[in-house]
C-alpha cells in the first residue's frame, strides 16, 4: 500500500539535538504540521512515521522517528495520510 508523504525529508539529516528536520515548505499540508502531530516523513528512498517535536518561527520542522516500520505504525497516522 502506498501512503502519501506528509513531509518530504532526508531521514538521515539531523539537527544539533539529534532530531530529524525539514521545512514547512516541504509539507504537503502545512496546517497539519504542529508539535505532537504524528506524520509520515521521508522521500523516494525511505519513509518513517514521525512525531513532530517543534516547528520554529522560521519554518524549520524538528521531528523524532518512531521505532518500527511504517506498516507497524500506520495505525498512528490520521486518515489524511492514508
Give the other-Cβ count within 10 Å of 26's Cβ: 18
Residues 6+ apart with CB under 8 A from 4: 28, 40, 81
pLDDT value, residue 3: 83
Q: What is the DSSP code (8-state) at residue 52?
A: E
Q: Cα–Cα distance between 16 and 53 in angstroms, integer?
A: 14
pLDDT value, residue 78: 74
The cell numbers describing 48, all together, are: 518513517
Looking at every residue in the chain, the average pLDDT score rounds to 93
Q: List pLDDT tens digits, range 15-52.
A: 999 999 999 999 999 999 999 999 999 999 999 999 99
Share of the chain above pLDDT 90, in %: 90
Q: Is 0.85 surpassed by the pTM of this model? A: yes
Amino acid at each position: 500500500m502506498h501512503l502519501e508523504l506528509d513531509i518530504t525529508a532526508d531521514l538521515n539529516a539531523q539537527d544539533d539535538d539529534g532530531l530529524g528536520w525539514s521545512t514547512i515548505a516541504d509539507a504537503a499540508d502545512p496546517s497539519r504540521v504542529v508539535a505532537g502531530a504524528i506524520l509520515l516523513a521521508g522521500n523516494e528512498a525511505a519513509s518513517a512515521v514521525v512525531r513532530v517535536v517543534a516547528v520554529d518561527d522560521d519554518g524549520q520542522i524538528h521531528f523524532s522517528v518512531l521505532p518500527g516500520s511504517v506498516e507497524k505504525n500506520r495505525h498512528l497516522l490520521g486518515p489524511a495520510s492514508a
